[in-house]
Amino acid sequence: MKGVRNFAFLAFAAGATAGSSNPYLADGYLDLGVANEAYEKAKAFVSQLSNEQKNAIVNASSFTGTNVSWSEYENTDGVSGLNFYYYVSAFPMGNALTQTWNCDLAAVQYKAVGDEYKALGYNVVDGALLGPLGRVPEDKTLHEVYIWPWADAIHSGAMAVMCSMNRVNGTHSCQNRELLMNKLKTQLRFPGFVYPDESAQLSAYGAANAGLDYSPYADGMWSWSAFSAGLANGSLTQARLNDMAIRTVRPYYYIGIDKENFTTVTSDYPAYRDIRGNHSSMIRKLGGESLSLLKNNNKNGGGLPLNKPHSISLYGAHAGPGIIGPNHLWSVSGTTSDVYQGRLAQGGGSGQTSVPYLITPFNSIAERAVKDNTALWWIRNNTLEVATSDSVVSDAGTGNNPNFKSYAKVSEVGLCFINSWSGEGADRSLPYDQEQDNIINKVASECNNTIVVVNVSGPRVLNAWAEHENVTAIVYGGLLGQESGKAIADVLYGDVNPSGRLIHTIAKNQSDYPAGICETANCGFSIVVYVDYRWFDKKHIEPQYPFGHGLSYTTFSYSDVVAKVTNQSSLSSKHPTGKLGLGGEADFSMMEAQQPVLILRGFEKVTISSGDSAQVEFNLRRRDLSY
Report DSSP letters for 184-221, one per residue. Answer: IIIIS---SEEEEPTT----SHHHHHHT----TT-TTT
What is the spatial distance between Cα 80 and Cα 420, in angstroms, rounded to a whole number? 18
Q: What is the band of 618 on the pLDDT scale with cuts at 50, 70, 90? A: confident
CA 625 and chain centroid, separation: 26
The answer to whether the Cα torsion of 364, 367, 370, 376 is positive or negative is positive
Q: Which of helix, strand or coil describes residue 608? A: strand
pLDDT in tens, 204-250: 999 999 999 999 999 999 999 999 999 999 999 999 999 999 999 99
For residue 183, what is the DSSP state?
Answer: I
Run of H or E residues at 248? helix 238-254
Residue 56 has pLDDT above 90, yes or no: yes
Each residue of 65-103: pLDDT tens digit?
Answer: 888 999 999 998 888 999 888 899 999 999 999 999 999
Please, what's the b/e burial string for 46-75 (b: 16 or more CB within 10 A of its CB; e: otherwise)?
beebeeebbbbbbbbbebeeeeeebebbbb
Cis peptide before 326 (omega within 30 of 0): yes
DSSP state of 410: T
Residue 202 CA to residue 205 CA, distance in Å, equals 10
Rg (alpha carbons) of the chain, rounded to whole number:
27
Of 611, 622, 607, 613, which Cα lies nearest the Cα of 575? 613
Cβ–Cβ < 8 Å for 484, 453? no
Pick the closest to residue 185 from 214, 236, 150 (CA basis).
150
Please give the span between the terminal C-alpha atoms of the chain, in angstroms, as a whole number.
Answer: 28
Question: Do the bridges between strand 311-315 and strand 413-419 make them parallel or antiparallel, or are there none, so unpaired?
Answer: parallel
Q: How far apart are CA 147 and CA 446, in angstroms?
A: 50
3-state secondary structure 253-291: HHCCCCCCCCCCCCCCCCCCCCCCCCHHHHHHHHHHHHC
- pLDDT for 6 beyond 60: no
User: Residues 6 or more apart from 369 whose CB is under 8 A from it?
Assistant: 312, 375, 376
Calculate helix-pair angle for 238-254, 224-233, nearest 10 degrees.
Answer: 130
Least confident window among 90-99, 285-294, 480-489, 570-579:
570-579
356 contacts 80 by C-beta, under 8 angstroms? no
237's CB contacts (< 8 A; 6+ apart) are 231
User: CA 457, CA 92: separation in Å to the nearest integer?
Assistant: 11
pLDDT digits (tens, 9 = 90+) for 416-466: 999 998 877 777 778 889 999 999 999 999 999 999 999 998 899 999 999
311, exposed or middle or buried, with CB in 10 Å at 0-12, 13-18, 19+? Answer: middle
Q: How far apart are CA 553 and CA 497, in angstroms?
A: 6
* pLDDT score recorded for residue 624: 84
Nearest to 244 by CA among 56, 14, 64, 73: 56
Lowest mean pLDDT among 44-48, 254-258, 348-352, 602-606: 348-352
Amino acid identity of 227?
F
Of the candidates 340, 315, 361, the one whose C-alpha atom is nearest the C-alpha of residue 491 is: 361
- Mention every residue, 6+ apart, whose C-beta is less than 8 A from residue 94: 79, 80, 128, 478
| CA gap 38, 18 in Å, rounded | 21
Percent with pLDDT over 70 in the chain: 85
Geometric angle at alpha carbon 290, from 287 and 295, rounded to 5°: 120
Could you list the active site residues? 197
Instruction: State the alpha helices, DSSP H only, in 504-589.
Output: 533-539
Contact 481, 345 (CB under 8 A): yes
Do 207 and 163 meet the contact criterion of CB atoms below 8 Å apart?
Answer: no
Poorest-pLDDT segment among 17-31, 83-97, 305-319, 599-613: 17-31
Q: What is the DSSP letter of 374?
A: -
Neighbours of 111 (CB within 10 A): 13
Q: E strand or H helix at 114, and its extent?
A: helix 103-119
In sequence order, what are the beta bridge partners of 195?
162
Give the closest residue to 154 by CA, choosing from 121, 185, 129.
185
Give the number of other CB atoms < 10 A from CB of residue 335: 23
Per-residue pLDDT tens for 351-405?
888 999 999 999 999 999 999 999 999 999 888 866 555 666 666 776 677 889 9
Range with lowest mean pLDDT among 99-103, 257-261, 519-523: 519-523
What is the residue-averaged pLDDT of the chain? 86
Domains of the chain: 4-74+123-254 (no CATH), 279-503 (3.40.50.1700), 555-625 (2.60.40.10)
Burial (CB < 10 A; 0-12, 13-18, 19+), residue 370, is exposed
